[in-house]
């Protein structure tokens, strides 16, 4: 295992834990957002901003955001012409946070947030034009345990959830539906490619950008498409 991803994920987790009790507001993409304790903060890393800006939102279509966190991308999707937006998260605090931002930005007529371990809250016949996850790609030791909901924002030991995502998502896509993943250079690209291969998917890179979120760290952020082969 390359230790860089685990160190970066652990540093971010620690910063979030130090922030406990300091929930409030933040500004991103010219909008103000609520942030609750225990929820992934879009202010410590450029992922949320980059991917929310790059995503090909399906105008007039159905958009599913896996792991919505504070709900920024789901609200932007609803404001970008999607007919319906479904936001799912395994963290109850993230679901509540997404609901608050849906309400704050008045998109409740077309956006909903559900508590869900991957696709478990959906009925089997629900289909989407785009399914997207800014995933918990930071590498972790195989025996690492996600002790709290917040841990799930950063780590997916053995990429078990990524494996389930790659296998289960295609059944929830429309005929022309697209499966997208927000990833970065601290993720395990080789393991992701292996998992996708097992699920009959190829990994295409749609867009990348190098950024230095901290003075001593330069990362490449990647929007990936998982395409049937």
Tell me which of 12, 13, 47, 196 binds ligand SAM, using CB under 6 A.
Answer: 47
From residue 187 to residue 226, the character string flagging contacts with ligand SAM as x (rule: CB under 6 A) and all else as - is: ----------------------------------------
Residue 5 found at the interface with ligand SAM (CB under 6 A): no
Edge to edge, the sheet with strand 173-184 lists 111-115, 84-89, 62-66, 128-134, 173-184, 217-228, 201-214
Q: How far is CA 56 from CA 17, 52, 59, 191, in A?
A: 33, 9, 9, 26
Residue 161 found at the interface with ligand SAM (CB under 6 A): yes
Tell me which of 62, 72, 195, 203 binds ligand SAM, using CB under 6 A.
Answer: 72
Nearer to ligand SAM (CB atom), residue 24 or residue 175 = 24
Residue 98 found at the interface with ligand SAM (CB under 6 A): no
Tokens in use for 86? 């479904």
Residue 106 contacts residue 132 (beta carbons within 8 Å): no
Residue whose C-beta lies closest to ligand SAM: 67
Tell which residue, 128, 199, 125, 130, has the closest CA to residue 162: 199
CB burial of residue 29 (10 Å; 0-12, 13-18, 19+): middle
Residue 9 found at the interface with ligand SAM (CB under 6 A): no
Using CB under 6 A, list all residues that contact ligand SAM.
40, 42, 47-48, 66-70, 72-73, 88-91, 94, 116-118, 134, 136, 152-153, 161
């Amino acid at each position: 295992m390359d230790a860089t991803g685990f160190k970066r994920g652990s540093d971010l987790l620690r910063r979030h834990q130090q922030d406990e009790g300091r929930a409030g507001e933040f500004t991103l993409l010219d909008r103000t957002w609520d942030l609750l304790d225990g929820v992934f903060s879009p202010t410590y890393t450029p992922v949320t901003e980059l991917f929310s800006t790059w995503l090909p939102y399906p105008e007039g279509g159905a958009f599913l955001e896996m792991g919505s966190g504070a709900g920024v991308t789901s609200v932007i999707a609803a404001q970008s012409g999607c007919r319906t937006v479904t936001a799912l998260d395994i963290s109850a605090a993230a679901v509540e946070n997404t609901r608050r931002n849906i309400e704050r930005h008045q998109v409740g007529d077309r956006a909903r947030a559900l508590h869900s371990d991957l696709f478990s809250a959906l009925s089997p016949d629900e289909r989407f034009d785009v399914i997207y996850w800014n995933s918990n790609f930071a590498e972790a030791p195989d025996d690492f345990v996600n002790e709290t909901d917040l841990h799930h924002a950063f780590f997916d030991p053995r990429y078990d959830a990524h494996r389930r995502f790659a296998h289960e998502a295609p059944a929830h896509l429309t005929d022309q539906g697209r499966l997208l993943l927000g990833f970065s250079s601290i993720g395990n690209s080789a393991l992701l490619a292996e998992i996708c291969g097992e699920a009959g998917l190829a990994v295409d890179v749609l867009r990348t950008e190098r950024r230095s979120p901290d003075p001593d760290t330069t990362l490449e952020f990647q929007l990936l498409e998982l395409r049937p082969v």
